[in-house]
Structure 1
Amino acid sequence: MVRKDCGASEGSGLEFGAGFWAIVNLAGKVKTQATTREVMRRVMKPRLSDLIDAINAIIADAERELGKKILVIIDDLDKVNLEKGEELFYKHGAELTQPVCKIIYTIPQPLLFSNKIRQIVLQYFDGRVELHNVRVKKRNGEVDRSSYEVMREVALRRMEEDLITEEAMNEAIKSSGGILTEFIRIIRGAANIANMEDRSRIEEGDVVRVVTDIRNDYIRILNRDDIKILKEVARTKEKTDEDRFHDLLFSLAILEYANDEVWYDIHPATKGIIERVEAGEG
């Protein structure tokens, strides 16, 4: 494969070119070396159009050789903080869409409340797909049995059914609030507890212990004003006007669901915190 070195006078070992492996090697260095990231910002920013041209050349060569169209998925951008996420998509929306292939970017859900981001999505991107949490409970509080089956299937694609009791499975589904990552985290944590106690099956008490740890995590980050917002959301199932609402949504203390229209509820682990506050214990 032909390699064309663009060169870099700063930063030990920082070198990139138009070849595929050069891009891969650069990505590895960027992830592991803080100094490389700083140098990359200074060196790459004024040459961004050259990099995009190089990427497009790689895409064209790859599609010609493979006889297939390339789809790139940029994952984990939904985990960056809101300020960085808004900066990335608002200031660099044009650049993000210049590679000549299909690209899927993940985006933090609270950014959808930003008018700036909505403008960028309409201007530069073909559209968006919102992946809402699984609605394990309906807006009126009634359990959604079909969603329970979806969550159950997710678990049983990863584990044998006899490794968990039915009570433990239901508790894990309920306590997850329909967040798949949270559900898997609960099952994994409960499995570790059972394993440490030399048991071959996850029991309901194992799940409860994991959920208690999650509740304690929220106790550490929530203040009394947050509790007021959570109480209001739990009561109305609507968003509030406070800026802090977005932060609570980002931290998953508040969860978004959708039927025909969007509605909100609070993370099941936070309900015990509210009850404690109301009882004057917290």
Structure 2
Amino acid sequence: MTPTLDSPFAKIANHFEPRALEGEALKEFFVGDFFEPFMQALISAIHTSGSYQKLLLIGHRGCGKTTLLNKVAEELRTRYHLVYFSAGEVLNMMDVETVDILLATYGKVIESVTDESQEKKLLSRFKELIDHGKNKFQLDKKIDINAFFFRFTVESENRTTTREALWHRMDELQNSLSKACADVREETKKEVLIIIDNLDKLEDAMAQNVFLKGSRLLTLPRAKVLFTMPLPTFYNPGFIGVSDVDYQPVFIPLIALSDRDGNPRPDNLDEMEQVVLRRIDDKLVDKAALQAMILASGGLLRDLIKFMHMACTRAIVKGKMEGRESIIDRDIAALVIRDLVNQYTRVFDFPRYRGSITHIRNDKDKERVAHEDMSFFLNSLFALEYGHPDRIWYDLHPCLARALDKQ
């Protein structure tokens, strides 16, 4: 039998780990023809917006926002002092309030400083701020930013008491963050740009509290900030009331594999194919199998990458069982697609929503779908939005459509 580690798929599977591209992988594997105009729109929005503008990056989960941000960040670093971090690094994503985001941003601005004396001065102010109130984060003479946020993330009691103290000192928190940005700007001679990724992963009610109810607080710091925001929050009617005043949104669409009438989009299909073939020799994957997985992804990069990762694993097992090298063929593609179809079958409430999803599938719109239900479908990737920036339309995720056909 062929040892597992001798299979070429053992290494190739690492190329399809379901994570954003960064570093060398970004240089080697990024395919950006479809995203190029949207990346340039984002860069232009950042460059032309006011010094203290708050921008939002919005799109489906799994559409490639973090990879796109990593790519855009390469260009932005030359012009800005970039403070770029994931909310998940410093926040408990199951329990986030606006004050947490401001505090995390303050800490990350300090962490971005390379001048030792400047960092010491900023740390002193940070310590003075968090030492107020009866909380267990008080330290004697020095503070470790990473240790502080680790405890802030995992210790709910301390997180609560710190919030309570800071809510009573909100002006001081805002001013301290703004002053830190001003000090960094003075030191580096560059405008400060803060990018906070993965806030789009917040649960819907929490995101509404942060971006809608907390919009005034979130937009007060005197710095240019780009947040990622969940798609359902973009669909919330309350967003209209704050968007023009507080935010400048930039939307990243899905890669539409066909038009509204079902006609294939060869350019986009080719791009999805290149996403895969940058990471694997085309001799190791049957073309028809690859096309089947592309179509089953619905244009979601995350799902295509997940299909390929599972396909590599199945190819390793098949080769081991048969005692010879195998390729990713149509049988393997059918199995990995079936896995996601089965997942949709398990979790979707067909009796409750059958009428709504049938309408979306047939009419490509949401005219007969309750707004709350549509937000739920989009958030759960049951339904997908296409067409931006032109006339938008909707369809079911292809794997949910297959699950529906089996009912």
Normalising by structure 1, we get a TM-score of: 0.87
Secondary structure of the residue aligned to 2:250 is coil
Residue 270 of structure 1: how far off its partner (Å): 1.0
C-alpha deviations, 1:129-183, integer Å up to 9, x for none?
1111110121111221111122123233444444433223212211110112222
- Give the aligned residue type for 1:273: A
Identical-pair percentage: 23
- Give the aligned residue type for 1:229: S
Residue 52 of structure 1: how far off its partner (Å): 2.0
C-alpha deviations, 1:30-75, integer Å up to 9, x for none?
3333333323322222222222222222222222333322222211
Distance 1:114 1:162, change over 3 A: same
Give 2:403's aligned residue: 273
Aligned partner (choices 177, 194, 206) of residue 84 of structure 1: 206
Residue 12 of structure 1: how far off its partner (Å): 3.3
Give 1:104's aligned residue: 226
Instruction: Let me know the Cα RMSD of the aligned residues.
Output: 2.5
Secondary structure of the residue aligned to 2:268 is helix
Is residue 366 of structure 2 the alignment partner of residue 231 of structure 1? no
Give 1:73's aligned residue: 195
Is residue 261 of structure 2 the alignment partner of residue 137 of structure 1? no
Aligned partner (choices 17, 41, 44) of residue 163 of structure 2: 41
C-alpha deviations, 1:205-225, integer Å up to 9, x for none?
333222222122222221112
CA distance in 1, matches of 2:152, 2:177: 17
Distance 1:163 1:115, change over 3 A: same
Distance 1:100 1:176, change over 3 A: same
Residue 15 of structure 1: how far off its partner (Å): 5.8
CA distance in 2, matches of 1:8, 1:138: 58
Give 1:280's aligned residue: none
Farther-moved stretch of structure 1 (1-10 vs 137-146):
1-10
CA distance in 2, matches of 1:187, 1:131: 23
- Give the aligned residue type for 2:261: N
- Give the aligned residue type for 1:150: E
Distance 1:9 1:160, change over 3 A: farther
Secondary structure of the residue aligned to 1:238 is coil
Residue 101 of structure 1: how far off its partner (Å): 2.3
CA distance in 1, matches of 2:252, 2:342: 27
Query: Greater relative contact order: 1 or 2 (C-alpha under 8 angstroms, separation 6 or more)?
Result: 2
CA distance in 2, matches of 1:213, 1:163: 21
Whether the 8 Å contact between 1:63 and 1:70 is mirrored in structure 2 is yes
Distance 1:13 1:157, change over 3 A: farther
Whether the 8 Å contact between 2:296 and 2:337 is mirrored in structure 1 is yes
CA distance in 2, matches of 1:27, 1:200: 47
- Give the aligned residue type for 1:230: I
Whether the 8 Å contact between 1:14 and 1:36 is mirrored in structure 2 is no
Secondary structure of the residue aligned to 1:73 is strand
CA distance in 1, matches of 2:140, 2:336: 46
CA distance in 1, matches of 2:263, 2:292: 15
CA distance in 2, matches of 1:122, 1:16: 45
Is residue 180 of structure 2 the alignment partner of residue 54 of structure 1? no
Distance 1:140 1:14, change over 3 A: farther
Farther-moved stretch of structure 1 (165-174 vs 191-200):
191-200
C-alpha deviations, 1:217-264, integer Å up to 9, x for none?
222221112222111100000013312121011100000001521100
Secondary structure of the residue aligned to 1:57 is helix
Farther-moved stretch of structure 1 (66-75 vs 101-110):
66-75
Is residue 336 of structure 2 the alignment partner of residue 214 of structure 1? no
- Give the aligned residue type for 1:241: V
C-alpha deviations, 1:185-212, integer Å up to 9, x for none?
2222222222344456433333322222
- Give the aligned residue type for 1:99: P
Is residue 136 of structure 2 the alignment partner of residue 12 of structure 1? yes
- Give the aligned residue type for 2:382: A
Give 2:269's aligned residue: 148
CA distance in 2, matches of 1:208, 1:30: 45
- Give the aligned residue type for 2:305: I
Name structure 1 gaps, 5 residues minimum.
Answer: 278-282
CA distance in 2, matches of 1:215, 1:10: 51
Normalising by structure 2, we get a TM-score of: 0.62
Is residue 152 of structure 2 the alignment partner of residue 30 of structure 1? yes
